[in-house]
Amino acid sequence: MQPYHACRHAQGAHNWHRLVHWNPAENMIPFARMHGSGNDFVVIDDRGGRLRANRRSLAKALCDRRRGLGGDGLVLLGQGAPGHVGMVYVNADGNDGEMCGNGAGCAIRRAWEIGLFSGRHTILDTDAGAIAADLAGFRVTMTMTDPKDERLHLSIPTSEGTLTGHYVDTGVPHVVIFVADVAPVNVGGLGPEIRHHPLFPRGCNVNWAGRIGDNAFRMRTYERGVEAETLSCGTGATAIALIAARLGLAKPPVRILASGGGELSISFDESPASKMSATGTSASETSVGAFRNVRTTVEVERIAEGVLDKDWLARRDLAIAAA
């Protein structure tokens, strides 16, 4: 089975390369290991839907960093609405995730690589909603679903005292806590406390953000579903940018430096003012504008690709029916 190579020339003389190993006559499951700003994933073409039923067990096995491929989550590419690409995202712990920003960026790039769409534009269907995407080489700009359920200035009791956090759903639920410096934050200790706090019945991702310049922040994230600190979080970076703007700390575009070393850019518009709760209760309402056209840009890379070993699958009771 021989790889094939194809080259496209993007605007600005960038080379776009394809390298895909695939023989539909063989019952193999090709995969790609990819990352966005250090947030890493296993990405698999599942247009036939044969992996869907076992996706939770498959995600846990594949994302194991010792016995599997390793990753923060599993991305299954599939059929979306007509003309769209579909994505199912499964966290490393085996639980479905509504959305993952960096995972979506990897899904879009991989979908282009294997020919699910041509050109620069597509729409990715996720459990959080449809996301319009623009691909420019390894940079992916996504128009995110509209944020919702903002709750500002929440008092969150923790083992290290009461912290002030701000909540917003940017496709998945996030809490943002601003600090002078993210480096000394006890993410491993405080993250699980806040992620499971009764204030957030769905659970949440927990983001700490420290300002490093005009409209620029450094972030650290404890991620729901991974149940550990991750090196980046696309929806978390988006949440930080929006909350910073809401509090008057930044204006778009906002740069977010992930702990993995990558940089994300978030731009957005604000519609005319409407009523919202400043504290998450009906007792205190303020007039604010709603955020619209939220656009998150991430840079993604393919690390490696190959096929899953049939014996490895069988030993985990994950044998997959022939396509």
Q: Which residues pair with 274 in a beta bridge?
A: 288
Closest CA to 159 of 194, 113, 210, 129: 194
303: left (phi over 0), alpha (psi -120 to 50) or beta: alpha
Closest CA to 138 of 268, 10, 225: 10
CA atoms of 281 and 152, how far apart (whole Å) = 10
Catalytic residue chosen out of the listed positions 7, 63, 100, 204? 100
Cα 224 → chain centroid = 11
Structure tokens at 43: 């990405």
Please check whether residue 283 is in contact with residue 276, taking contact to mean a CB–CB distance below 8 angstroms.
no
Residue 145's CB is within 10 A of a number of other CB atoms, namely 18
Extended beta strands in 95-146, E state: 96-97, 121-126, 129-136, 139-143
Catalytic residue chosen out of the listed positions 63, 106, 204, 233? 233
* DSSP classification of residue 58: H
H or E segment to which residue 61 belongs: helix 55-62
Question: Can 100 be counted among the known catalytic residues?
Answer: yes
Q: At what angle do helices 234-246 and 101-113 cross, to 10 degrees?
A: 130
Write out the catalytic residue numbers: 100, 233
